[in-house]
């Protein structure tokens, strides 16, 4: 018997340590090559570790919740198969051959088997070769159409989304409220879309009527619920899970304050800094104290962007795809970076004590995402090559993956420029810290109606504030101003993207 030990591998670029989150096997379990052994949390994401060996688990060498260095042995697997194996000299019993279409029962009357399929017929025990219904013998029932609000598409949201507003439909950049039903007479075009889902009315959430009723009774916005249904629909179980999480948060709030009579140290909660939080803290400190930040801001009339987004939502080409002003901003950033290349660069200190600026002729567009595990910045590779529709699909996929906690380390490496949507919480603007390895980041504020002077008249317009932070070693004030002005120009007139 050979005992194999599996050491913690480097699952990402430069990984030095990881925490064992949960074991998927226990001593005595039989495992095959590539079976999942455990989940580990790195500085960037949760990763499943597959087994490089086949055999029986002998011992789990590291308990859950422990952080260990790369190269540490975590599990031992013997090549001995567990259980009571069949001796090599004993021939295994042959499994009976199953007929392709099954057997007819022995008590079937002769009249029912006039075609030669009776008990005495050789066809009764084998496949009915050459027989079967005629091509036109089976007719499909006409497909029933459902109410317009019973099948809609849900794309889980992340940080880079716009806040909801009750003022107007246009004020809601990401999605309309789930309870706002379409007219009763509308039916769905149930043609398949990307991913094989059934399309519904644009920017609604897929859910059955009983689920919608439960959500309304509980005051839950279906757009906030992560869908786990086979077609991306919100299920009853999803609502139960969401409500339980919400209740737990409320319970924590009710019992948050410690009693005044307790000792001071018993009213202080100590939270270990590890995983994503540890990596984020280090990255932010390194960036803030190595790259001299300069920030500028610009107010933008995004009314035409809101109109453009509304037209895209109604377009058949974007049917079933979540569309928001973030899509237009992402395109604007890509367009403006091509006109001001130095914002898409990296400052590199060389070994000789000199420095270089590496301007990148590709755009890996980072999107800051608030996840249950903390802040992550996955990026869309080669975003400059994507059409508007392809970019919308990439944003949807990024959102779904991040909310599910499935973002992989490779998806967060190699970013060149980042967008953070602080408007998701109704914030107008801010001074974001640059993602390490980049020289620029754009903050997207909330879009809301404000009084705006247009042609000498004060009228309500959809206004947002863009904030940008830049590495002053690479980006001068003039360049940062021109870049932000170009981004603002697209939000004010999206038709410029056609140039």
Catalytic residues: 472
Query: Which two three-digit tokens encode residue 66?
Result: 């422990």
CA 375/CA 283 separation, integer angstroms: 11
Taking alpha carbons only, the member of 13, 70, 77 closest to residue 40 is 70
Distances (CA, A) of 239 to 134, 199, 373: 46, 22, 21
Query: Measured between alpha carbons, how far is residue 175 from residues 121, 172, 214, 272, 368 in Å?
Result: 64, 6, 20, 37, 19
Among 265, 163, 155, which residue's Cα sits nearest to residue 202? 155
Q: Is 468 in contact with 443 (CB distance < 8 Å)?
A: yes
Q: Which two tokens stand for residue 109?
A: 């009357």
The 3-state secondary structure of the chain reads CCEEEEECCCCCCCCCEEEEEEECCCCCCEECCCCEEEEEECCCCEEEEECCCCEEEEEECCCCCCEEECCCEEEEEECCCCCCCCCCCCCCCCCCCCCCCCCCCCCCCHHHHCCCCCCCCHHHHCCCCCCCCCCCCCCCCCCCCCCCCCCECCCCCCCCCCCCCCCCHHHCCCCCCCCCCCCCCCCCCCCECHHHCECCECCCCCECHHHHHHHHHHCCCHHHCCCCCCCCCECHHHHHHHHHHHHHHHHHHHCCCCCCCCCHHHHCCCCCCCHHHHHHHHHHHHHHHHCCEEEEEEEEECHHHHHHHHHHHHCHHHCCCCCCHHHHHHHHHHHHHHHCHHHCEEEEECCCCCEEEEECCCCCEEECEEECCEEECCEECCHHHCCHHHHHHHHHHHHHHHHCCCCCHHHHCCCCEEEECHHHHCCCCCCCCCCCCCCEEEEECCCEEEEEEECCEEEEEEEEEEEEEEECCCCCHHHHHHHHHHHHHHHHCHHHHHC
Helices 325-339/477-492 angle, 10° precision: 140
Instruction: Copy the structure tokens of residue 98.
Output: 């199953």
Place of tokens 């802040």: 375
């Amino acid at each position: 018997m050979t005992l194999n030990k599996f050491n913690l591998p480097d699952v990402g670029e430069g990984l030095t340590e990881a925490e064992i989150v949960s074991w998927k096997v226990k001593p005595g379990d039989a495992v095959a090559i590539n079976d999942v052994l455990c989940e580990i949390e790195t500085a960037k994401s949760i990763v499943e570790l597959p087994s490089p060996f086949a055999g029986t688990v002998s011992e789990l060498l590291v308990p859950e919740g422990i952080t260990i260095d790369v190269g540490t042995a975590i599990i031992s697997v013997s090549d001995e198969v567990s259980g009571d194996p069949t001796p090599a000299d004993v021939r295994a019993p042959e499994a009976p051959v199953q007929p392709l279409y099954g057997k007819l029962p022995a008590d079937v009357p002769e009249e029912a088997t006039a075609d030669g399929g009776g008990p005495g017929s050789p066809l009764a025990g084998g496949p009915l070769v050459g027989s079967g219904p005629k091509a036109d013998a089976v007719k499909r029932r006409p497909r029933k159409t459902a109410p317009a609000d019973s099948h809609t598409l849900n794309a889980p949201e992340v940080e880079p989304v716009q806040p909801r507003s009750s003022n107007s439909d246009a004020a809601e950049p990401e999605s309309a409220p789930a309870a706002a039903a379409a007219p009763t007479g509308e039916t769905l075009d149930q043609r398949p879309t990307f991913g094989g889902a059934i399309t519904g009315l644009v920017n609604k959430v897929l859910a059955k009527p009983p689920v919608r009723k439960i959500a309304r009774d509980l005051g839950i916005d279906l757009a906030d619920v992560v869908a786990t249904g086979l077609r991306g629909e919100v299920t009853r179980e999803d609502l139960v899970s969401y409500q339980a999480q919400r209740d737990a948060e409320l319970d924590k709030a009710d019992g948050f304050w410690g009693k005044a009579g307790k000792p001071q140290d018993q009213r202080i909660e100590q939270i270990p800094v590890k995983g994503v939080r540890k990596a984020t803290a280090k990255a932010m400190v390194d960036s803030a104290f190595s790259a001299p930040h300069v920030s500028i801001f610009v107010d933008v009339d995004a009314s035409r962007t809101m109109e453009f987004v509304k037209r895209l939502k109604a377009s058949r080409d974007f049917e079933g795809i979540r569309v928001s002003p973030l899509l237009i901003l992402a395109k604007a950033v890509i367009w403006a970076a091509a006109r001001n290349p130095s914002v898409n660069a990296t400052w590199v200190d060389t070994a000789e004590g000199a420095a270089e600026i590496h301007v990148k002729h590709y755009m890996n567009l980072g999107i800051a995402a608030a996840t249950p595990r903390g802040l992550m910045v996955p990026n869309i590779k080669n975003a400059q090559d994507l059409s508007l529709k392809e970019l919308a699909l990439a944003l949807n996929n990024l959102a779904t993956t991040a909310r599910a906690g499935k973002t992989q380390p490779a998806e967060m490496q190699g970013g060149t420029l980042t967008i953070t949507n602080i408007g998701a919480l109704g914030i107008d603007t801010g001074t974001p810290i640059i993602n390490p390895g980049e020289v620029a980041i754009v903050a997207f504020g909330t879009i809301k109606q404000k009084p705006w002077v247009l042609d000498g008249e004060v009228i309500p317009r959809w206004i947002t504030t863009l904030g940008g932070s830049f590495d002053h070693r690479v980006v001068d004030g003039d360049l940062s101003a021109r870049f932000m002005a170009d981004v603002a120009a697209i939000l004010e007139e999206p038709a410029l993207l056609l140039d």
